[in-house]
Structure 1
């Protein structure tokens, strides 16, 4: 088997765009393509170095003078729900998460657009068409899965209204949450946090030690919720995973 390292691949650098997390900052991304028979292996290796997947692209931040974005993962075996998370879990006892193939549906897209309109109206995804959404779910060169979250209509039914969706990748050491969205009108349910709790349990049942949550940004209110899933590791300098409380992070 051929071994790969990041230095073996051809990388590209995006132009600067306004940072979505820190006002007044600009972001750039380093990226490479995932293609061919080795796409899955490359994705697994790059994930350990802080890369995320978007369709057939693997990317990580490469911002000049700033290293605030840190890859984050939950230590599944050591995770225990805190009091607030236990309340969220009980509050959503009537929700069933069902794994389905990564195939886009009109019902999913309608919920996706409502979510963007409420939470990310000015974001780069706000103008995504149904075809764009199809590419987001279906254009994957790796092992991916969609979990649909529906309110159970009775004790034996899980075909109620769709209230959330999580697109995930399966890695050798964990589940990576690629993208998730939910019904923002059901704000009392804390559906975003509930889906993370559910994915932790799915990782546990699969015997996988980590749940990858994407990037954590210390001074971004949008990212504060991730630090509540303890113990949490982040990828620091030298590509070393460290517990959040022990890791030096922030802008240079």
Structure 2
């Protein structure tokens, strides 16, 4: 990514979303850049991530807990637990759909936040909040819907780029927790990428020993970005 092609902006300090009491900052690609869709594909390989219309990477003074990670599709092999998860959800249909708000999706999203992330600051997400957080006019996004006999059980918000797919966000029916739909969504995104000849599934940031982020190490091999180089964890 050439510095003369895009500006990097630094956010003001804000509360860390992962550790209470810590302050965080991000570097953000200039959201007004005309070639942001092309830059985004390259930025994934540099550890950036999308939230809404912003492509960012943590840049926190004195803290390097957030480590970009990705799954190399060609060498990934599910372990025994993941194979059981695939079998347990063999009755689900995956439907690639256009992104955006629908009452059905928003209802599922609201139930997920209330059931899994209560008190996280997003409990009462409005229609506009849903659209602003999960989509952007320029982003190459699909909503991979997981359905059982037509009933929507989960949505994996997935950006599809030339460098791979980015698992932006997944939400699912909290009453179906026994299915392991979070794990299943990642496994299906790996399959989705493999079928399209895409080399990587980007999982955002891995945080060692964090109760909500350390699960990513279970997808092996997992590559992490350290010192500007991708290496196997």
Distance 1:6 1:22, change over 3 A: farther
Residues in 2 aligned to 1:166 and 1:205: alpha-carbon distance in whole angstroms = 17
8 A Cα contact 1:21 1:217, kept in partner: no
Match of 1:17 among 6, 14, 19: 14
Please name the residue that 1:53 is paired with: 50
**Other structure's SS at 1:222 match:** coil
Match of 2:40 among 39, 43, 46: 43
- Choose 126-135 or 170-179, whichever is displaced more: 126-135
CA drift at 1:35: 4.0
How many pairs align? 233
Please name the residue that 1:232 is paired with: 222
Structure 2 residues not aligned, in runs of 5+: none
Residues in 1 aligned to 2:177 and 2:112: alpha-carbon distance in whole angstroms = 12
8 A Cα contact 1:35 1:56, kept in partner: no
Please name the residue that 1:249 is paired with: none
8 A Cα contact 2:45 2:163, kept in partner: no
1:94-173 aligned within 5 A? 94-151=91-148, 153=149, 160-173=150-163
Residues in 2 aligned to 1:138 and 1:59: alpha-carbon distance in whole angstroms = 15
Please name the residue that 2:230 is paired with: 241
- Choose 29-38 or 138-147, whichever is displaced more: 29-38
TM-score by length of 1: 0.87
The alignment yields a C-alpha RMSD, in angstroms, of 1.6
CA drift at 1:6: 4.3
8 A Cα contact 1:104 1:137, kept in partner: no
8 A Cα contact 1:113 1:126, kept in partner: yes
